Structure 1
């Protein structure tokens, strides 16, 4: 059995890995007024953040349609028997459900939808692992079992400069209860039950970075190998400095640097930064 791997654009996997591992991608889109742009194809991340600065209103985001997924699956069916379809959290997007619907309609290929319950390169970690396992000839059932096992060890925490993006987009649970008290606070956020929720209220960015490091340390101190990603919205220099500092302290952690692209950036805003990781062994 030949198995393909498909994900959506919010996994923000580097282009060279998408090509190298033969990963299929269904793009989400952002719409400014009457103009719609597909992530990865029609607008760069830098162009997006510049456009946000000059536009009056935040863009709207949209998921791939069921028919777009059907088209992707039909193309995959030409050369594959099955597809592992990994998507951002169903708690913040209908993308996963669209994949499920398309998968139930398509013939010629078995579709295995996977709700990552998260996004960005944390989602991408599942995709990359699935691609490696597919290349090794593992069955779809074996791959899905491995992804479910990974989920027990997946962690991600991030802070934003401005909660208004999340509040206006309806993506932050409990935002109304927090916003009034957060004027001088850097909240740590995370995914819980598939949604973005507050983790802790922290007074300064410095303390927020330290708290995220301590959470990583809890895993790193009890693991042989950890994969991690520092993920940022237009804060590459900060991300690189943080990676270098953490790499010295935790040699058993393999760090990547990734980014929040247009769709997730719409909700988090420029300046957001976080870290995701999972215990490999």
Structure 2
């Protein structure tokens, strides 16, 4: 048995980290105007944010096609892999997981164990890292059972702060009037995943207060998980310095927790908008060094 680990591009794991643990990537697509770009391959973040900022209409996003996934599986099969643990962003916000399942049924000689992470971004990446770091340390059935437990809310969780309402407005999730009123009141929605869906957690006025509220919730959850090997991540949407400051502040408050800084790439930033922040964690031991 030879096991490959695949993660889609919305994990935004550093390329060197994926290389270290032999994690393969299948990209989602972002469509700007009439041109489609493979995330993290055909377009960088700086170019994407400039393009998004200058357009009245939001870019569109799409999951990898079944054909793209079949090509990846055929290449892995040719390398001698017999099984694939494939970790994807929540099935409630993308069809990527469903396409992975369909592709797996189309290729003989290799078995795909598709994982609906029920989250997104680097928090989803924690699951791929755990799979890659343990695929030779435990039987496959045990590893899949551990992953199923790992992705439960009590063990892996995340909160996201939306800084601007313009993308929610452009995407049809808010009316013009709602966006105008929300902007005037400086409303900063806090979102989280519930039953694999991204839903409102609270609406807070001002970003500073929203960050403080997320810290309060994080503190409660860290108290519950005291003694476990927590790895946490601060995620930013073209707001590197703000994300870095927040991470450093959290590091001072929680010296026993390993923190990493990540970003929202084009596919997720299309929906959350520029300036968004996130804070997520896992209670399972993962190596994030590279």
> Fold-level match, TM-score > 0.5?
yes
Aligned to 1:230: 234
Q: TM-score under structure 2 normalisation? A: 0.90
Q: What RMSD over aligned residues (CA atoms) do the two structures have, in Å?
A: 1.8
Any idea what the Cα deviations from partners look like across 1:8-34, whole Å, max 9, x if unmatched? 100000010111111111101111111
Contact kept? 1:6, 1:86, Cα under 8 Å: yes
Q: Is structure 2 residue 242 aligned with structure 1 residue 249?
A: no
Q: Is 190-199 or 260-269 further displaced after alignment?
A: 190-199
Contact kept? 1:231, 1:275, Cα under 8 Å: yes
Any idea what the Cα deviations from partners look like across 1:103-124, whole Å, max 9, x if unmatched? 1111111100000111100111
Write the mapping of 1:186-265 to structure 2, written as runs, cut at 5 A. Answer: 186-221=188-223, 222-224=225-227, 225-265=229-269
Write the mapping of 1:111-190 to structure 2, written as runs, cut at 5 A. Answer: 111-134=112-135, 136-152=136-152, 153-166=155-168, 168-169=170-171, 182-183=182-183, 184=185, 185-190=187-192
Partner Cα distance (1:274, 1:26) in 2: 23
Distance 1:107 1:157, change over 3 A: same
Which sections of structure 2, spanning at least 5 residues, go unmatched? Answer: 286-290
Contact kept? 2:117, 2:124, Cα under 8 Å: yes
How far 1:162 moved relative to its partner? Answer: 2.2
Give the number of aligned pairs: 277
Q: Is 141-150 or 111-120 further displaced after alignment?
A: 141-150
Q: TM-score under structure 1 normalisation? A: 0.93
How far 1:274 moved relative to its partner? Answer: 1.1
How far 1:166 moved relative to its partner? Answer: 3.4
Partner Cα distance (2:252, 2:48) in 1: 34
Contact kept? 1:229, 1:275, Cα under 8 Å: yes
How far 1:7 moved relative to its partner? Answer: 1.1
Contact kept? 2:117, 2:127, Cα under 8 Å: yes
How far 1:45 moved relative to its partner? Answer: 1.0
